[in-house]
């Protein structure tokens, strides 16, 4: 037997036992920097230290304890939907699936997948905390609210893009506090449900949010996603740290405890754009939110904090083959130019397209600390996304070779330009499959250590909330197939009269009728459908198998 195998046998069971036998806590705060590879954290830390010589460390540094292998059910490299879904449900899933059981892909499944549960909505740790204990629940993020990570906590869909299915589920899941982006994406029906059920709803109303004394609140900023932190108008848009502190102050009023998920959503977006300042500055904004969560947890004594990305992104490296002898470069050479960037590539694009070409050099001097040389200016003027170029669109550089240089988006060109002045490298504009860092705080020191899987991390959270091994049974009780729940009753799926509308399930007994519209927690009953049954969970409809998923005891209302 090899030494390593012996070590694995000795350590393996011990680690699992530690994860599942921790002292329970009242509150969990899970913080997810989306799409954050460890190099992003390294560059952000250097940037902070370079700018503030008395701040060499990040808030998360003392709590780093391990790594997490994060994968989809049938692929080693995950996207945001199945990765956080797995943290929340304990079951890895397929690309695009939001807390929904995967379809079996036997030849490729990384762990065994039960084919009979395909498309079943899976109860999340957040939903379990609410349903089993009456804990308060909260979501804080900077993307639009139906985006993958917040949706993974509070909605169910095999298609992360179906906001029309996801948004109403999030409104009807009775979350206590929601703070993030997406004022244009809250359906009118969802908003009136919230207002009729004791919520205050704020839209682009920082003052309203700050003055609000109650607990139940949806506070949305920006039509879709919120701005990058470095470009935030501080008089109109809160920082992720303020959003986190606000959420904690509301949630901690419930003596039964709370579950809060905080996402630094756009670190991932900047990584997709290969924009190093967007990544580093949004990571630092996220780190300050982690600091707020840790500060609360340490004072509170009953709160665990878990900080973990959902996957890597961009293959960013500190050091690039473009720079000769880069390992000998000083911190000034590596970070001096970079530290002068005051906008993301998107920010530069917006500014360049809103000001005359005569201001180009001034803009770069002021917001990037350099002026464009003749070649760079030529490339900018020929870029097809540059609206104010002195070269008319039809005269800009053509031909296969030139097309690839100039035809990308303006922000894409600027991201490359800004990166070219650094010694950072990128290998891709997409996700990467390396394991992600894990940082954790537990009041008794019961933090997970070593290399975990995404499934292990779910088991750790379940142990913290004493729902160990219960999620599967809760999913079967909360999301049973209508064909099982209403066996022996007369039921009919009535198609929607609207284009792309969702169908309605109508169930009849001799005395009563249930009219069930999916993606809400409300069911109409009574003689003329005038009474409403309010569930503690949402009903989900899946068109792939024409099935409504609803509570297994729902027939008791007939
Ligand atoms: Zn992600």
- Kindly state the helix (H) or strand (E) to which residue 549 belongs, with its residue range: strand 547-550
Q: Is the pLDDT of residue 536 over 70?
A: yes
* 33 CA → ligand 1 middle, Å: 8
What pLDDT does 432 receive?
Answer: 97
What's the pLDDT band for 18 if we cut at 50, 70, 90? confident
Q: Is the pLDDT of residue 2 over 60?
A: no
Q: Distance between alpha carbon 4 and the CA centroid of its chain, in Å?
A: 36
How large is the average pLDDT for residues 154-165?
98
Q: How many helices (H) and strands (E) does the chain have?
A: 20, 22
As a whole-number percent, the residues of the chain with pLDDT over 90 amount to 91
* 88 CA → ligand 1 middle, Å: 14
pLDDT tens digits, one per residue of 306-337: 999 999 999 999 999 999 999 999 999 999 99
* 182 CA → ligand 1 middle, Å: 18
What pLDDT does 302 receive?
Answer: 98
* 127 CA → ligand 1 middle, Å: 21
What's the pLDDT band for 12 if we cut at 50, 70, 90? very low
How large is the average pLDDT for residues 154-166?
98
Question: Residue 386: exposed, middle, or buried by beta-carbon count in 10 A (0-12, 13-18, 19+)?
Answer: buried
Q: Is the pLDDT of residue 511 over 80?
A: yes
Q: Is the pLDDT of residue 100 over 80?
A: yes
* 442 CA → ligand 1 middle, Å: 25
What pLDDT does 520 receive?
Answer: 97
The beta strands (E) that lie in 253-322 are given as 258-264, 303-307, 312-313, 317-318
What pLDDT does 13 receive?
Answer: 43
Q: Is the pLDDT of residue 421 over 70?
A: yes
* 266 CA → ligand 1 middle, Å: 9
What pLDDT does 41 receive?
Answer: 98
What pLDDT does 182 receive?
Answer: 98
* 42 CA → ligand 1 middle, Å: 19
What pLDDT does 412 receive?
Answer: 94
Average predicted confidence (pLDDT) for the chain: 95
pLDDT tens digits, one per residue of 345-399: 999 999 999 999 999 999 999 999 999 999 999 999 999 999 999 999 988 887 6
Q: Is the pLDDT of residue 406 over 80?
A: no
What pLDDT does 292 receive?
Answer: 98
User: What is the DSSP track for 105-132?
Assistant: -TTT-SS---GGGTT-B---HHHHHHHH
What pLDDT does 554 receive?
Answer: 96
Tokens of 302: 């009953």
* 152 CA → ligand 1 middle, Å: 11
What's the pLDDT band for 499 if we cut at 50, 70, 90? confident
* 174 CA → ligand 1 middle, Å: 24
Q: Distance between alpha carbon 239 and the CA centroid of its chain, in Å?
A: 16
* 300 CA → ligand 1 middle, Å: 30
Distance CA 141, CA 32 (A): 9
What pLDDT does 154 receive?
Answer: 98
How large is the average pLDDT for residues 136-153?
98
* 143 CA → ligand 1 middle, Å: 11
As a whole-number percent, the residues of the chain with pLDDT over 70 amount to 95
* 310 CA → ligand 1 middle, Å: 5
Tokens of 86: 């797995």
How large is the average pLDDT for residues 545-549?
98
> How many CB atoms within 10 Å of residue 12?
11
From residue 168, give the alpha-carbon distance in Å to each of 188, 458, 496, 530, 550. 10, 25, 17, 21, 16
What's the pLDDT band for 484 if we cut at 50, 70, 90? very high
* 34 CA → ligand 1 middle, Å: 5
pTM value is 0.95
* 77 CA → ligand 1 middle, Å: 11
How large is the average pLDDT for residues 91-120?
97
What's the pLDDT band for 487 if we cut at 50, 70, 90? very high
> How many CB atoms within 10 Å of residue 403?
13
* 147 CA → ligand 1 middle, Å: 10
How large is the average pLDDT for residues 111-128?
98
């Amino acid at each position: 037997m090899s030494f390593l195998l012996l070590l694995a046998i000795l350590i393996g069971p011990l680690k699992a036992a530690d994860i599942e036998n921790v002292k329970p806590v009242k509150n969990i705060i899970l913080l997810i920097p989306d799409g954050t590879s460890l190099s992003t954290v390294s560059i952000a830390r250097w940037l902070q230290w370079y700018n503030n010589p008395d701040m060499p460390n990040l808030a998360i540094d003392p709590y780093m304890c391990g790594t997490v292998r994060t994968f989809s059910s049938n692929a080693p490299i995950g996207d945001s939907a199945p990765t956080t879904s797995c943290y929340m449900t304990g079951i890895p899933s397929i690309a695009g699936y939001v807390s929904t059981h995967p379809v079996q892909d036997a030849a490729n499944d990384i762990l065994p997948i039960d084919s009979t549960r395909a498309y079943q909505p899976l109860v999340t740790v957040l939903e379990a905390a609410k349903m089993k204990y009456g804990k308060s629940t909260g979501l804080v993020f900077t993307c639009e609210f139906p985006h993958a990570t917040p949706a993974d906590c509070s909605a169910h869909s095999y298609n992360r893009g179906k906001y029309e299915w996801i948004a109403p589920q999030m409104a009807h899941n009775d979350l206590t506090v929601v703070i993030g982006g997406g004022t244009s994406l809250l359906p009118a029906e969802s908003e009136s449900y919230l207002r009729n059920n004791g919520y205050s709803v704020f839209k682009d109303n920082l003052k309203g949010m700050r003055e609000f004394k109650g607990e139940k609140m949806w506070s949305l900023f920006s039509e879709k996603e919120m701005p990058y932190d470095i470009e935030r108008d501080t008089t109109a848009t809160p920082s992720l740290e303020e959003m986190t502190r606000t959420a904690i102050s509301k949630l901690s009023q419930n003596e039964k405890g709370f579950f809060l998920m905080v996402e630094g959503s756009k670190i991932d977006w900047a990584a997709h754009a290969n924009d190093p300042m967007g990544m580093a500055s949004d990571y630092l904004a996220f780190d300050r939110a982690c600091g707020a969560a840790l500060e609360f947890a340490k004072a509170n004594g009953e709160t665990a904090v878990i900080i973990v990305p959902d996957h890597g992104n961009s293959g960013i490296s500190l050091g690039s083959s473009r720079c000769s002898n880069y390992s000998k470069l000083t911190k000034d050479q590596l970070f001096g130019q970079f530290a002068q960037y005051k906008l993301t590539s998107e920010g530069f694009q917006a500014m360049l397209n809103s000001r005359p070409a005569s201001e180009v050099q001034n803009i770069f001097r002021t917001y990037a600390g350099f002026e464009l040389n003749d070649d760079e200016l030529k490339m900018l003027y020929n870029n097809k996304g540059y609206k104010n170029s002195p070269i008319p669109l039809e005269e800009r550089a053509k031909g296969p070779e030139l097309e690839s240089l100039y035809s990308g988006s303006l922000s894409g060109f600027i991201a490359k330009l800004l990166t070219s002045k650094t010694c950072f490298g990128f290998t891709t504009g997409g996700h990467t499959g390396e394991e992600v860092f894990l940082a954790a705080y537990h009041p008794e020191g019961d933090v997970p250590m070593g290399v975990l899987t995404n499934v292990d991390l779910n088991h750790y959270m379940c142990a913290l909330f004493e729902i160990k091994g219960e999620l599967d049974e809760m999913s079967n009780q909360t999301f049973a197939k209508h064909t099982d729940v209403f066996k022996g009753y007369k039921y009919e799926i009535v198609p929607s009269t609207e284009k792309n509308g969702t169908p309605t399930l109508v169930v009849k007994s001799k005395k009563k009728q249930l009219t069930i519209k999916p993606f809400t927690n409300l069911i109409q009953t009574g003689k003329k459908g005038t009474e409403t049954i309010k569930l503690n969970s949402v009903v989900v409809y899946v068109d792939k198998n024409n099935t409504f998923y609803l509570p297994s005891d729902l027939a008791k209302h007939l």
